[in-house]
Amino acid sequence: MDDTTTDDCIIIGAGPAGLTAAIYLARYHLSIRLFDNGTSRAAWIPCTHNHAGYPDGIEGKELLRRMREQARKYGAIREEKTVEHLARVGDRFTVGTEGATYTARSVLLATGVVNRRPDGLEESVHDEALARGLLRYCPVCDGYEVTDRRVAVIGTGKHGTAEALFLRGFTADLTLVSSQGDHELDAECMARLDEAGIICIAGPCGGYAIEGDQLAFDTAQGRVAFDSVYPALGSHVRSELAELAGARIGEGHCVTVDAHQETSVPGLFAAGDVVIGLDQISNAMGQAGVAATTIRNHLAKERPMLRAAPEGGDRGG
């Protein structure tokens, strides 16, 4: 393979993890190509108040815009393409998009996850409800915003129970609604929900509409309305490319990585929500910083002019 056309690193995914890695790697004077298919989950955030440094919060799209500009400033190349194929060939990676194939010494996967939406929730209603805070997907991010509000969790089983109990720390007015029919709750879940004073309503859910300042929908026990609704229906982890490349996949279809964010395939890294852990912007950015520095250090062994970063960093930055 012609090394003159080989990137030092190709980053797949342009959310907070991918963009952080692009900034780090570009500032390490490495040749970087960033593929962005425009589906970062961060773009759906109306306003995040958990992200340090923004006391009044920042819109997800604006945060991504600033990060893209920062990566561009230092020379990262961003292409609006969807990656369809990934493979390790010898000591290099081939990355395929529609109509083009690229070669890289290393690859960082930052492909993230896709939240599962309630069935029957029309896109126009979904998007407006999300923008107004009537529909929310991350209680870790915005549980504070529903303090003492009337809240519903759509879900059941252990996952729905866990989310409802977490939100109980913010409000006492909580209802767990099954999305499809009767709840699938074992005795332990029922006891914990009852102890917490959380109401359980059977589904199915449908007829979603914004009514005044609430999101309303039909259930088996009639029509209900809430100040905020949290779907606890799980997520689709976008780990397909990692599987194509032969990387080990673990719990919940998340990509398995070591302490330096490297997968079981040498030179293939993963960071952000595609890796098991806390689905938070700050966590994704931290993982990306670790991965980017490890990538640089690996390349330093191949290219002696690149001096590896000190073990454990330099305690600065």
Read off the CATH number of the domain in which 260 is found. 3.50.50.60
Q: What is the pLDDT of residue 279?
A: 87
Q: Are residues 286 and 209 in the same domain?
A: no
Q: Are residues 121 and 110 in the same domain?
A: no
For residue 61, give the nearest of 84, 77, 38 by alpha carbon.
38
Q: Are residues 57 and 157 in the same domain?
A: no
Residue 144 backbone dihedrals phi, psi, to 5 degrees: -55, -35
Q: Are residues 105 and 68 in the same domain?
A: yes
- At which of 196, 231, 266 does a domain end? 231
- At which of 185, 213, 231 does a domain end? 231
Q: What is the pLDDT of residue 99?
A: 86
Q: Are residues 106 and 182 in the same domain?
A: no
Q: Model confidence over 164-183: pLDDT tens digits?
A: 999 999 999 999 999 999 99
- By the 10 Å C-beta count (0-12 exposed, 13-18 middle, 19+ buried), 316 is classed as exposed
Q: How many domains does the structure of the chain reveal?
A: 2
Q: Model confidence over 3-42: pLDDT tens digits?
A: 558 999 999 999 999 999 999 999 999 999 999 999 999 9
Q: Is residue 274 part of a domain?
A: yes
Q: Are residues 267 and 223 in the same domain?
A: no
Q: Model confidence over 87-146: pLDDT tens digits?
A: 999 999 999 999 899 999 999 999 999 999 999 999 999 999 999 999 999 999 999 999
Q: Is residue 309 part of a domain?
A: no
Q: Are residues 108 and 240 in the same domain?
A: yes
Beta strands per DSSP E along the chain: 6-12, 32-35, 77-79, 83-89, 92-97, 100-109, 113-115, 151-154, 174-177, 199-201, 206-211, 214-219, 222-226, 228-231, 235-237, 268-270
Question: Is residue 305's pLDDT more than 70?
Answer: no
Q: What is the pLDDT of residue 245?
A: 97
Which domain covers residue 82, as residue numbers?
Answer: 3-114+235-302
pTM of the model: 0.91
Q: What is the pLDDT of residue 308?
A: 58
